[in-house]
Every structure is written in structure tokens, then in C-alpha cells.
Amino acid sequence: MLAFRLTGLPDSRLPLYLYSVGSQEEKVLHRPDGFPVYQLFLSRGIEGQFRLPGKGTWTMGAEQLFIVEPEVSHEYVPHSNSKGELGYIGIGGASAGSVLQSAGLLQIEPCHISGFEIIWSRMTDLWHALNQGATEMWNTSALIYQLILDIAQSKIPSDVGVVGTGSSMAENVAVPRSNQESDQGKEALIRAVALMHTHYQDDLLLKHVADAVGYSVQHLNRLFHQHYGVTGHQYMQRLRLQKASDWLDNHPRASVREAAETVGMEVNYFIRMYKREFGETPGQGIKHRNQLQIEKDLTNS
């Protein structure tokens, strides 16, 4: 068993960091107030039941992964006849959610992991390094990112592979797992999507993304078209437009220029693309949101 290990106060500059790691044997876990960061639970031999009040109850079998989001109340009860360990990895940082989502891991149910013992051994290696004081926070950030990619690559979908995006543009796609080339392509695509979700506000070109994942623009476009039915540029543009729409939902009195600047787009181009994507200009959307708010205020007054 790996005793609970807390890494300490993270560097605020880290978008992704390791918060805690460890494992426990057959033991009830009860957290009515949730946990401050994302928790990745790994079931090694042990079987049990996770209950998230208001969300549901799931049975977790051996060699499975289950993720609980920050501050979500949860309880875990092991089956009385199971023997094994429940590993846990706490991951924090401003980009933790988007990276896990982009890797297709934020699903509200347990999933099977192939090569489970390899993933488990990497978790234990990380624990031992921390326990010996041999790994600094910046190094663990890189290790955690790689571990997320490894888990995503090892995830066994129930029918087809899924690479999540956190928006309505996500599609369920079959991910070939038959050879090394397809695995490398999947990893490159996951990294590309993660970069887009992290840097959608920046002056990020598809060439920058392709260079970062070690592919040509043409090859990366083929991967995007194969898995999402759009080019990498179209995917990034739709992501920015969806982020702008979400931002306007939370800022109904904002201007069109503010919305465009929030996602790093030139105003006139933003207006044209927004109308093409959503069927109305952002200005019309703002008026509609304001009207709904006025009607809501009158109803509550």
C-alpha cells in the first residue's frame, strides 16, 4: 500500500500539477465535501461502488479507472469479498479539466484500462520519487501530463474510442489500435486538441500546433478529418466560437468586441464566422440574452 502523499503548495505558474498520490486497501472512502482537485481512481484487484449524490451510483471493477471532479461529494464502498488496492492520483491546475477532457477521460462512468499494471507501476514510481524527495513540482507536471496521455492511449472504450472536446462538436469515432503508427497518431491528436483548448485565446496557428506535436500540417489535418470530419483549422475555429458563446452566456452585457478579443479573433471576422456557426450574429445573441434577463427580472420582481 502507498501511504497518502501530498506534494505541497504548487507553483501558480503550472497549468497542470500533481496534488497527491497513494493507494488504500479495502476501506470506505467518504468525502461529503468532495476533494479540491480532480481525482483519478485506479482499481487494482479490488471491486467496489462509487456513489455521487445527485449524480448516480457506479460499480467499479478490477483494472478500471474512475474520475471524480473537484468538490463533488462522493463515497466509495469496497465489496466485502474483494482483495486489492484502490490507487488515487490528485491532479490540479487551471488546465487540468481541459487536458483530461481533451484526452477523453472525463466520462461519468468507470472505464477499463489495457496494460493496467504498466499504468499502476508508473503511479508507484512517481510515489516513490516523491517519497524520496527526488522529483520537483515542475518535473512532476511533465510526468503527470505524460501519464494522462498513457492512460488515454490505454483506455478501452465499450464500443468505439472517444476523444472529448468539452463542446457539442465532439464526435464518437473509431480509433484504430492495431499498430504503433495509429497509436502515435492518436497521441498526437490528443496533444493537439489539448493545446487548442489551452491556447484558444492566443495567436495560435495550426502550423504551431503541428510543429508542437511533431506532424506536418497536412498529416495533422488528415487526423482531424478522420476523427472529427473537419480540418484542424475548422476544429480550432469552432472551439473559439463555442468558447465565445459560452463566455457571452456568462457576460450578457458584454460587447461583441469583448467577446471577439476573449477568443483572440478579429471583430469583423468573428461576426461573420459566428453567424455562420450559430445562425445569428453575436450582437443579435447579446440582445436575445438581455431580453431574456429583463423578462426574468420582471418575473422575479
Give the per-residue pLDDT at 249.
82
Helix (H) or strand (E) holding 44: strand 38-44
Q: What are phi and psi of 59, to 5 degrees?
A: -90, 130
How far, in Å, CA of 239 to CA of 199, rounded?
A: 11
What are the extents of the domains in the chain? 5-156, 180-289
Give the per-residue pLDDT at 233.
92
Cβ 144 vs Cβ 90: under 8 Å: no
Which candidate, 234, 219, 226, places its Cα nearest to that of 273? 234
**pLDDT tens, residue order, the chain (301 aa):** 888 887 766 777 888 999 889 998 878 888 999 999 999 999 998 889 999 998 899 999 888 999 999 999 999 998 877 678 999 999 999 999 999 998 889 877 898 888 888 889 889 888 887 777 666 777 788 888 888 988 888 887 543 333 333 333 333 333 334 444 466 788 888 888 888 888 888 888 899 889 888 899 999 999 998 888 889 999 999 989 988 888 888 887 788 888 888 888 899 999 999 998 888 888 887 777 667 666 666 777 6
Give the per-residue pLDDT at 255.
87
Which candidate, 92, 96, 105, places its Cα nearest to that of 42? 105
Same-fold call for 5-156 versus 180-289? no
Instruction: Extract the C-alpha cell encoding 200.
Output: 484558444
Neighbouring C-beta atoms of residue 273, cutoff 10 Å: 19
How far, in Å, CA of 123 to CA of 114, rounded?
A: 15
How far, in Å, CA of 57 to CA of 85, rounded?
A: 20
Kindly give the residue spans of alpha helices, DSSP state H, lying in the chain.
96-102, 116-131, 137-154, 180-199, 206-213, 217-228, 232-250, 256-262, 267-278, 282-300
5-156 belongs to which CATH class? mainly beta
Task: Specify the 3-state DSSP secondary structure of 228.
Answer: helix
CATH architecture of 180-289: Orthogonal Bundle (1.10)
What is the per-residue DSSP string for 100-111? HHHTT---SS-E
